[in-house]
Structures are given as structure tokens and as C-alpha cells.
Amino acid sequence: MIKVAVVGASGYTGVELLRLLLNHPEVTVTCVTANQNAGEEVATLFPSLAGRIDMVCTALDVATVAASADLVFTALPHQAAMAVIPGLLAAGCRVVDLSADYRLRDPKVYAAWYDTHTSPELLSEAVYGLPELYRAAIPAARLIANPGCYPTSVALALAPLLKGGWIDPATLIIDSKSGTSGAGRAAKVGSLYCEVNEGFKAYGVGNHRHTPEIEQTLSELAGQEVMVSFTPHLLPVNRGILSTCYASLKQETTTDALLQHYRSFYAGEAFVRICSAGELPNIAYVRGANYCDIGLVVDPRTGRVIVVSAIDNLVKGAAGQAIQNMNLLLGLPETRGLEVVSLFP
Amino acid sequence: MIKVAVVGASGYTGVELLRLLLNHPEVTVTCVTANQNAGEEVATLFPSLAGRIDMVCTALDVATVAASADLVFTALPHQAAMAVIPGLLAAGCRVVDLSADYRLRDPKVYAAWYDTHTSPELLSEAVYGLPELYRAAIPAARLIANPGCYPTSVALALAPLLKGGWIDPATLIIDSKSGTSGAGRAAKVGSLYCEVNEGFKAYGVGNHRHTPEIEQTLSELAGQEVMVSFTPHLLPVNRGILSTCYASLKQETTTDALLQHYRSFYAGEAFVRICSAGELPNIAYVRGANYCDIGLVVDPRTGRVIVVSAIDNLVKGAAGQAIQNMNLLLGLPETRGLEVVSLFP
Amino acid sequence: MIKVAVVGASGYTGVELLRLLLNHPEVTVTCVTANQNAGEEVATLFPSLAGRIDMVCTALDVATVAASADLVFTALPHQAAMAVIPGLLAAGCRVVDLSADYRLRDPKVYAAWYDTHTSPELLSEAVYGLPELYRAAIPAARLIANPGCYPTSVALALAPLLKGGWIDPATLIIDSKSGTSGAGRAAKVGSLYCEVNEGFKAYGVGNHRHTPEIEQTLSELAGQEVMVSFTPHLLPVNRGILSTCYASLKQETTTDALLQHYRSFYAGEAFVRICSAGELPNIAYVRGANYCDIGLVVDPRTGRVIVVSAIDNLVKGAAGQAIQNMNLLLGLPETRGLEVVSLFP
Amino acid sequence: MIKVAVVGASGYTGVELLRLLLNHPEVTVTCVTANQNAGEEVATLFPSLAGRIDMVCTALDVATVAASADLVFTALPHQAAMAVIPGLLAAGCRVVDLSADYRLRDPKVYAAWYDTHTSPELLSEAVYGLPELYRAAIPAARLIANPGCYPTSVALALAPLLKGGWIDPATLIIDSKSGTSGAGRAAKVGSLYCEVNEGFKAYGVGNHRHTPEIEQTLSELAGQEVMVSFTPHLLPVNRGILSTCYASLKQETTTDALLQHYRSFYAGEAFVRICSAGELPNIAYVRGANYCDIGLVVDPRTGRVIVVSAIDNLVKGAAGQAIQNMNLLLGLPETRGLEVVSLFP
């Protein structure tokens, strides 16, 4: 059994990591840190885990974490992650970081959208952990930058189009909608039940921090600089991201032809499901599972293609993908511990 | 008191018309038809109305309706509406039709998206009842085509840009999200609670029937043929439509400058509220009220403007706008009976 | 126009008072206090009110409030209310207090369930503002203790049984379920969307602070000391309380006979609606309106009666009832400003 | 691999059986029947299962089912189940029946609450499959009557009290609340999203068909005839049942003492979790998992105990318990395939 730690476990990503790790046959959780809840039973913090874990949350101490685990999941806010990850690496741990701190390759871009980076030397070493697109680099990595939830949904939706040169990247518009767990477990008025329920709004229009991460990946896929309009919205559901992507086609094609291209592109991928023509994804069908469902429509009237992707933001958009990366790091089958079927309804 | 009838009252638009009409000081509801529920108390069909209405649903009979009312709201499905409206007009009634049957001016377009039109001669007479854009023509009309819910949210969001020539209409992309009452009260598996709750999906991509209605209005505003990508989505809420609209600006401008233009454009309008810079609409803030809230962001990175509008699909998107039209038809103050404040939370 | 102030307006009760007062034809809101939001536009704090109110929140100052208003609604937490109400009364204001501070007649009971009372001399003067049961005493009062949300739903459900001596009060069990707005607008983890949505739980079992208020009213109705089991639950909805009440009948009777008794008991009451036999209340049918819907079933198998009542906790359970009390205080028709029809769906 | 069939798979219980069976390491699904969807891909009927099952729904034919499977799950409506189960048994299958048809031991009781029983001779053979209470009889059974969802939540909540003689059974009141999946996937107006969302109601008061099933089990536990008041309510959530049970204690005791008794009573049970004092269950913590969480409070004021239990109605209340029974029938570890951790949030 491989020993793993979850650092910063008090949020929704933390409990989701634990849910999936507790069912993983090859690992054992040896350390759970949560500074605000240090000394508290994990099963008191998250009664959903009662009967499955008999551990107490500890305050974060790098040496203790490193001594207890071979592989560490960091589920801390950005800036907090970069404060501990260099120490964990120095102590010999491998790290899957779920924050944004090591996703952007250019420290100047990080500084422009977040803050000054305190370990920029690690940016070139960190591997962007989107296995369907960057699988080869993952097994040998020390530090995995686990992708953001929105960027995962967008990159998988658009990769086949950009790689194939099907669309004009300058026309890309991405309208995304996320469940509320994406806003975290912090006690904020804007996240209260009565503020979110029966409501719907856009936020971060033109300035959401996932924009440069999306553009970095899309640019690499396109082989040219790509700039997008990206608009996130807050959905009154617990889980799920649906991204609706628009782009002008460079040549005439059909829905069927593009679907066939997507099926080829993702052939052999366990976690990407391409919808049949006439069908489109629904976040209800990926709940709790590591899938990315993708559907599309070619609109001959406007010459555009509309691609829709759905993921569970806590699974393929965070904890599930982190475990997929862990499996690759450890040489395990990529689907190990992630065979869970979507929960519907 | 003016006598009004509600024809086809068994759906959500019907109960919303009754909710608003029962609070209107100048009208009295004299006839409520609902073929499937003929003989049933209205307050049994809709217990929310108990104590406020003491009427029985009747089967639809044009002569009876015409004899009992001066003004008729038809809340029937398309095709069913055109089967009775010519008779109501012939009998001397004025009609506010909430179906799609008289919204498209060109019968060939109607035939392409719906079915053969059986009273095409009325299409040129019917007035498209979006008061903020077509107010002058309404008071003298016999037949008002009450706009669709999506088209209302889109036309009000984009009119100031198109009239002012600010954007390139060829780049228009409209991503809309509607609450489930828009799907009606028919018993369909796809509208069941467990199918919709905690779910989210796009539907009708590239072929939703509101597309030609949207394009007709936008074309008139732009003074040129406009074709758009319009993608509706199903939101797990009872009420509300949020439309997120994207277009490329023809010249550089700022969020503040465009907001100022919107405020001028809609100066004096009681039902349009323009958000301050940095604020954006939320369907939660228009629930139950006749407002259309509009906010926008100019994104200098991409040269696009993103406009977001929010309405209650059953009020400004249906019954409230129908009563606004009625007020204009009757020479009443336009806000009469529509002073209701939004219900939050 | 009568000048009214809303003190402590930043919560859900505050915005609901404003929603209803802004539609009331006889009053004008002259002062809105919210200490945490002093200096902020009311319409920024609650965008649902945009276009309807052009006031700024002020910090609470008793002299300023008293100078600006004849009647004051205090929507403060308990203990905070009693800190300002004596001063408002001394300054000549009449007060409708929505806190729990003046509901219990016995300061020892208040101390046992809340804390030490700092103005116990006002407890005997305060009138418990449940008009259907205590109407006569209201018009002459200086200080109205507006009832709690749960106690309103329970007292109206059980009054006809207790007054008529139909049930054994020792067998009373009250199982109540409340929407989340009852938990207030404070930023607490337990009130977050993801904690409440798709969840359901009991809380405060055996020790909820509404218990002594319920028992005080039921005891007065029964003419004997009544002690109940009262269990509140948290519903994943914004608004609504449904109380399911169980008691053993002292004599055989039928559902029809008891319903007839209820109709007689509440004859002439504008805000109590008795369901037909076979029908039961649903919180969906009172949303936004001041109704209390009541239904019941006599179960001959067990000899018990089950009474179910539904209110909107923010309307009949708080702000609506406060305005009903205000109307009585001011000699206005009791329904003035409260004619709003329930919002369904 | 053991071959199993799911008969009547088009409902929510069907898809839940498939979700769990597809993750079960010892069985393979060889036959899926759904008369209304015969010829349709299972993954089209339930896109949540895409990529996990490559089968087509067939029309129900007893001989075909029996030829393809050793063990059959029947997820049919009552009456439909009894039409096929005798044939399946005669063909040598073992059957876990999720309908109500074989739960009541007395055909006269079945006739009184349902309809005439057409195979009453099987009632004495059928084993009531609530393993925590009737485990010994299950392994040798041919026909398991899988318990109802409400009865499961109630029997587990009350068994320790009734077996220990702690309470007066004549005082038992059970107030239950169920998620909407319990109403099935049939297209009915009452199950539409807009009818259920933001609503809450009681139904079947005094006459719900689960009442005799509850009373049968409680009577066996108490060793005397037990009659209860049972009131179900409809919760606006997809999944979950919370039952709040009230009874008068026969002797003084404490919350701690009773919790200790519960822990002893359920010692070794993998699927029953007893809350700590001061904690109570929430349906959010059992979502997707086979747990029954139980908490309780002794109220010394009233001399009553309030017991609260939570299950997922589709798992421990249906498909999960059915697989627990299957494991016992097959001699497998009882938790095999049911190790899934609750999905929160």
C-alpha cells in the first residue's frame, strides 16, 4: 500500500479526495491536515465519511507530512500551496497540487493574474496533469499541476478541433456554468443557500483567473497564440460544469464527421465519452464520476460549431483527475479506484 | 372594470396571468378556459389561487369567450392559438396572444420553423408586443403577438448596441439559460423533478424555434439581415432566463460608456434596470416581477462586449408583458397591476 | 402617508419588510438601518429592490430613527432588540418587534431559554401580535411582539382543536420543517448552498427556543398548561414552513366534521385558508403571500388527528404578519398592502 | 461470475441496481428488461451508464430471463411483480423482489391495502430481506421480499427500542420525508420539477401503503400488535429518506444510555452508523451509499425519545439492500460491491 497525505482537507476538494482514496485498493491515507480543524476527527468534519476513516485532522507541518507519506495531494488555496510544496519536494515527496500555483508556465502571467510567484524555478519542472493531452510527461514527474475545473472542461472539448485545425481560434467563445461546490466551503454570504438557490448569474466576466490557463493549453494545441472570451456562471447545483463553446469553422463539415473525428481523437480514453449525434451532455450524467462527456452540433446556417462538454467539477475537475495523475505517477492502471459509475438521479 | 378572459389557463403561463390579473385594479376575469380541466374549480387546479378566485374552468368555446370578455389572453400552444384567434377577432374581441403564431411576419418563415399558417392574412396586422421597442403601434392594435421569453431577453439586451451600430452583427452569439417553467406543465419524463434537479444541459442547439423570432427583431434593429447562434439551456430553477450575449465591437469603447448609452436608450422605461459597472444581473433579483435587468462588460483583450440580461420568463417573458400590452391597449398607465416588487430570496 | 422605519434591514426579514412596505399604499419608508452596511445603498444590498427605493442604509441611532418615523419595525436579533426598543418607545414611537424579546410573558422563562431580560417591565405591556387569536388587544398597543415563524404555523393549526377541547394536549407532537431563509443571512458554513441543497435534517431537538413560545400560546388556548414535543427540520427551499401536528382525539369525530369546525373558527379571516377534505397544504401555494393554509385528517385507526399547516416563514411568519399588525395599529384595513397572490410555481 | 437479470429496469430503482451491479466484482448482468423501452440501448435510456454497459433492453419474457440468469431482481410495480415471480421461481431462479408483493405475510392485509394476491402460497416462503433484523433466514431463501424504503428507515430506527421494551408502542408516531425519486419515473404532473421544487407537502396521511409493512415489522419486534401513525412527506431532493420517530419512554433514561444501547444492538453491522450525542443524521451524508444513520434525543421534559434515521431511498431503501440480500443469498461477504462512500456534497 502506498502512503498518501491530503493537505488542506477541510474543503469540498478535500472530502472528495478522501471519498475516492478510501475506495482505492492500492493506497492508504496516512495524514490529513486541516489547520482550522486541527484536532478534530475527520469523520466529524465530514460525517459522510463516518465508519470509513478513523483519523484526526492535524495542523500542517511539512516535515510530519513528508515523514508519513510518499505522495502528497495539496488542496490548499493558491499562494498557500506554493508556501509548502518546495519543502515537500525537498523532503522527497511527490506532489499532486490541486491549486493554481504551478499551472501557468510563465511566472509573469502568474503575477499578472494572481500574485508574485515565490518558487518560479519549479514552473518549468511542473507537469500539467491533463492525462488525455499530456500523458507522456506525467509518470516521471515530481510535481503535477492538477488542472483547473473550467480549463479541464474546455481543453477536452476543444482539443480535437484545435489539433485538427478545424476552427478559427480567434472566434472562440466559451460560456461555462459551474455548480456551487466550485466556490468552496468558506462561509461567504454569496455562497449561502438562499443567495444561490433559484438564482443564476455570470461572474468574473472578462477577468476570471482560469482564462490564462485555458489560453495556455489552447495555444499549445493550436500551435499559435489563442485568446478567448471566457464567461463563467454560477449554477444552483452542488456539482458539475457544463461548457458551451462556439467557434467558426474554417471549412464546411457535418456534425457526423466531427463526431467521428472526436471518437478517433479520444479512442482508448477511458474517461471521455462522445455523445451520439442528436445527443448532448448533461451534468446529471457525470455526477460523482471521472467522465468528461462531449457532444457537438455543426450549424450550417452560421458556419459555426457548438461543442458542449460536461464534467463533475470535483471529480474530473479536481479530485478524480488528481487520482488519475497519481495512478500514472505510481505506474498503476489509470482507472484504478476511479471505476465508480455516475450517480443518477 | 374591463372584462378579460384567459383562454388555455391550465399551464404555468395561465396561472401567472391569473396571479397578476387578480391584483389588477381595472380588470375583472370573467372567463377561464382549460379544456382538459373543464368543470374543475380554478382554485383546485391551482391551489395558490384559493380564496382569490371563485370560478370554474370551462371548455373553450369562441362564442362564449367573446360574449363574456372584451379582451382575451390566449395562452394556447402554437397551432391551437391560430385555430381560435380569427374567430375571437371576428367577434369583436381584442386579443393578446402568448403563443408563437403571430410573431413572425413572414408566413414562409413560420412554415419553415413551425407549420403551415392558417391565417397568414393576420400576420401583417398583428403587432409584436415588445413595448420598449414597438410601443407606438400597440394601442391601436386588435391583435398583439406577445413576444417569446428568450426573444424578449435577447432583444432588450442587444437593442442599444444594434441601434447604435456598436457591434458587428455577424459575430453575435447568444447563450441563454431558462428555468424549467418554460418547458410547460405537460407531464413529460424530461420535465420530471429528478431529471432536471442537479442537472444542466443545452437543447435545441442550432434549431430552436425562437431563433427566427430573435433574428427578425435584431434585423429590424440593425437595419440589416442578422443571423445569430442561439443556444438555450435548461436551468434547475422554476423561473428566470439569463441570456449572455457576445459580439465584436466595431470601435473601441469602455464599459462605462456603453452603460451610459444603455441608460439613455432606456431612459423612462419602468421595467428595464441597468446595472452599475461591476454589477451583473441575477435571475434571483427579478423573480415574480416584470423587470429586465441588464449589465455588460467591455473586454479590451478580445474587443468584444458581453451583455447579460435577466428576466422572469413567466412575467416579462410572458404574462407580465402581456398585461403591459393590455394596459397599452386599454389606455391605462403601462405599469398598472405590475408594480409588484421582486421576491427575494 | 405614515412614516415607518425598518431597523436591522440587512437580513431576509428586512428585505421582505421592504418588499411589502414598498407596495403598501398608506406608508412611506423613511429610515432603513443596517449597521454592517451603513452608507451602502439599500438597492446595492438588495438588488431585487433596485428602481423601487432610493435610500442609503444608516447606522442605528435611536434618536434619528424616532425623529424620522412614527412606527418602527425592529428586525434585530434577540438581545439586540431589547437594547433599543425601550428608547424607541420612550421617544414616542410605536414598535412592531420581529425578534423574540417580548414574546414570552414570563421573564424567568425568557431567562431559561434565552438570556437575562433587560426590560422585563415591558413584557406585560407587549401584545402578542397573532391577529387571528389576539386581534382585540392589538390596535391600542405601543409594542407588538410579532410571533415567531414556527409558533405562528403551530398556533393557527391547533387553535380550533384546543379551544374546542377536541384533543388531549398531553399527546401533542409537532414536527415542523422550515425553509432556509429562517436561518438568516449570516455567513455560516451550515447555511452554505452545498451544505443545505440535497440535504435534510432535524435540529434543536428537544431544545429549540420556539418551544416555550409555542407552549405559552397553546396553554392559553387550552386553558391549561400544555407541554409539547417540537422538532424543527431544515428544508432545502428558500421559503416556507410546514408543520405536521399529531394529537389524540378525546372523542370520535370525522375529517369532515373537524374541517367544518375549522371553517367556522376561521370564518371571516382573510389569511387563513382551510383545505377541502382530501387536500393538504403545500408550502408552494403560499409562497410570497400572507396565507396560512390548513388541512387535516382524522385517522380512525389510531384515534388521532393529524393537522398540517403551511405558511411562508418570511410573510405570515415574519414580515407579512408584522404589516398585518401595523395595519391594525393604524386603523387600516387588515389586508391593506397584503393582497399579493401566492407565486406559483 | 454469477449471472443476474434486472427485470423492469426503466425506473430509478432499475438504474440504481445497474449502477451498483456494474461495480460488483462477482456478478455480471446478462439481461435487462424494460417493456416500454424494448429494443433501446440501456445507455440511451440512462446516459449515466454510457461506456459501462453494452446491452439492449428487452421485453419481459420469463423463459428468456430464466435462461439467462441465476438470480433475478424484479423492479416492477406491485401486481406486475406477482405476475412473473412464480414463473421465475418455477424455472429455478432465485428472486429478489423490490415490489411490495411479497412483503406482507397475511394475504388479507395485502388485499386490504393493495389488491387480491394471486400467489398467496408464496407469502409464507418469502423472506423479508432486512438483513440487520432477519439475516438468518436469508441465505437459504428462494424469494426475498426486499423491504420498502420507508419501512427500512423506520424498522432500523425503532428496533432497539422495541426489542428492549423501552417505549410504549401505542404512542409511536412516525413522521417521514422522502426524496422525489421515491415517486418513480412515470410522467405525472405531480412529479414535475416545477411542482416539487421549492415545495413540500404531506401525502397519504393515514392511508399510505407502507403502513401495514411498518406495523408488521414493529409488531414482530415488540412481540405485540403495534399500530402507528405514519405520515410521509415529499422532499424537494432527488434522494434520501429521513424518518423522525416519537415515542413515550416506559422508564427514565438518558440520550447517552440509549445511544450506548443502539451501539450494542448494531455492533458489527457494516451499514448502520450511530451518531454521537448531539449529532443527528442528514440525508446528505448517506447519498449514494448503503448506510442507515441513526441519532436520537431523550427529552426529559416530555418523557419522550425522538429517534431520527436517514437512508438513501434508492440504496439502503431499494437497490443497495437488494444487493446486500443477493450477497447473502450467494454466500458472498455482505458488503461486497457496496463499499461505495457517500457522495458529499
Report CB contact under 8 Å: A202, B173: no
Per the DSSP assignment, residues forming a β-bridge with A292 are A272, A311
State mean pLDDT over D25-49.
Answer: 97
Alpha-carbon torsion, ordered C263, C267, C269, C271, to 10 deg: 20
Task: Please choose, from the candidates A238, A247, A231, A235, the residue with its C-alpha nearest in 3D space to the C-alpha of residue A176.
Answer: A231
Catalytic residue among D149, D245, D275, D292: D149
Determine the Cα–Cα distance for residues C9 and C16; give it in Å rounded to an integer. 9
Strand C272-274 relative to strand C292-299, pairing? parallel
Point out the residues of chain C with pLDDT beneath 50: none
Determine the Cα–Cα distance for residues B75 and B31; give it in Å rounded to an integer. 13
CB nearest to D180's CB, from B188, B191, B193:
B193
D311, exposed or middle or buried, with CB in 10 Å at 0-12, 13-18, 19+?
buried
Please tell me the predicted confidence (pLDDT) of residue D173.
98
What is chain C's length?
A: 345
Report CB contact under 8 Å: A185, C181: no
Determine the Cα–Cα distance for residues C335 and A225; give it in Å rounded to an integer. 65
For residue A73 the three cell numbers come to 495531494
Please tell me the predicted confidence (pLDDT) of residue B137.
98
C30, exposed or middle or buried, with CB in 10 Å at 0-12, 13-18, 19+?
middle
How many helices (H) and strands (E) chain D has is answered by 11, 13
Chain centre distance of CA C222: 21
Report CB contact under 8 Å: C193, A192: yes
State mean pLDDT over B186-198.
Answer: 97
For residue B192 the three cell numbers come to 420530471
Integer angstrom CA distances of residue B337 from B313, B345, C285, C340, D66: 18, 22, 21, 11, 66
- At C246 the three-state DSSP class reads strand
For B316-334, letters b (16+ CB in 10 Å) and e give bbbbbbbbbbbbbbbebeb
Determine the Cα–Cα distance for residues D14 and C90; give it in Å rounded to an integer. 68
Determine the Cα–Cα distance for residues C148 and C191; give it in Å rounded to an integer. 20
Chains near A, with 3+ CB pairs < 8 A? Answer: B, C, D
Determine the Cα–Cα distance for residues D17 and B179; give it in Å rounded to an integer. 31
Please tell me the predicted confidence (pLDDT) of residue D116.
96
**Phi, psi at D263, each rounded to 5°:** -60, -40
Residue C21: in which H helix or E strand, if any? helix C12-21
Contact assessment for residue C95 and residue C144, using Cβ atoms and an 8 Å cutoff: yes
Split at pLDDT 50, 70, 90, the class of D191 is very high
Supply angle C-alpha A146, A147, A153, rounded to 5. Answer: 145
Determine the Cα–Cα distance for residues A322 and A5; give it in Å rounded to an integer. 13
Determine the Cα–Cα distance for residues A115 and C60; give it in Å rounded to an integer. 39
DSSP at D316: I
Determine the Cα–Cα distance for residues B173 and B181; give it in Å rounded to an integer. 24
Q: Sketch out chain D's domains with CATH numbers.
A: 2-125 (3.40.50.720), 150-312 (3.30.360.10)
Contact assessment for residue A122 and residue A102, using Cβ atoms and an 8 Å cutoff: yes
A to B CB pairs, distance under 8 Å: 151
Which chain D residues have any C-beta within 8 angstroms of a chain B C-beta? 12, 180-181, 185, 187-189, 191-198, 236-238
**Phi, psi at C229, each rounded to 5°:** -90, 125
The contacts of residue C223 (CB under 8 Å, 6+ apart) are none
Per the DSSP assignment, residues forming a β-bridge with D229 are D173
**Phi, psi at B214, each rounded to 5°:** -60, -45
Please tell me the predicted confidence (pLDDT) of residue D67.
97
Q: Which residue has the cell 391551482?
A: B46
- At D131 the three-state DSSP class reads helix
Distance from CA of C190 to the nearest CA of A (A): 8
Alpha helices in C164-280 (DSSP H): 193-196, 210-222, 255-265
State mean pLDDT over B225-233.
Answer: 98
For residue D113 the three cell numbers come to 391495502
- Percent above pLDDT 70 for chain B: 100
Determine the Cα–Cα distance for residues B245 and B154; give it in Å rounded to an integer. 8
DSSP at D313: T
Determine the Cα–Cα distance for residues D247 and D249; give it in Å rounded to an integer. 6
Contact assessment for residue D167 and residue D250, using Cβ atoms and an 8 Å cutoff: yes
Contact assessment for residue D292 and residue D312, using Cβ atoms and an 8 Å cutoff: no
Q: What rounded mean pLDDT belongs to chain B?
A: 98
- At C293 the three-state DSSP class reads strand
Walk along chain A (345 residues) in steps of 10 and give the mean pLDDT of each run. 97 98 97 97 98 97 97 97 98 98 98 97 98 98 98 98 96 98 97 98 97 98 98 98 98 98 98 98 98 98 98 98 98 97 98
C to D CB pairs, distance under 8 Å: 151
Contact assessment for residue B64 and residue B40, using Cβ atoms and an 8 Å cutoff: no
**Chain A residues lying within 8 Å of C187, measured CB to CB:** 187-189, 191-192
Report CB contact under 8 Å: C280, D203: yes
Closest residue, chain D, to A11 (C-alpha): D345
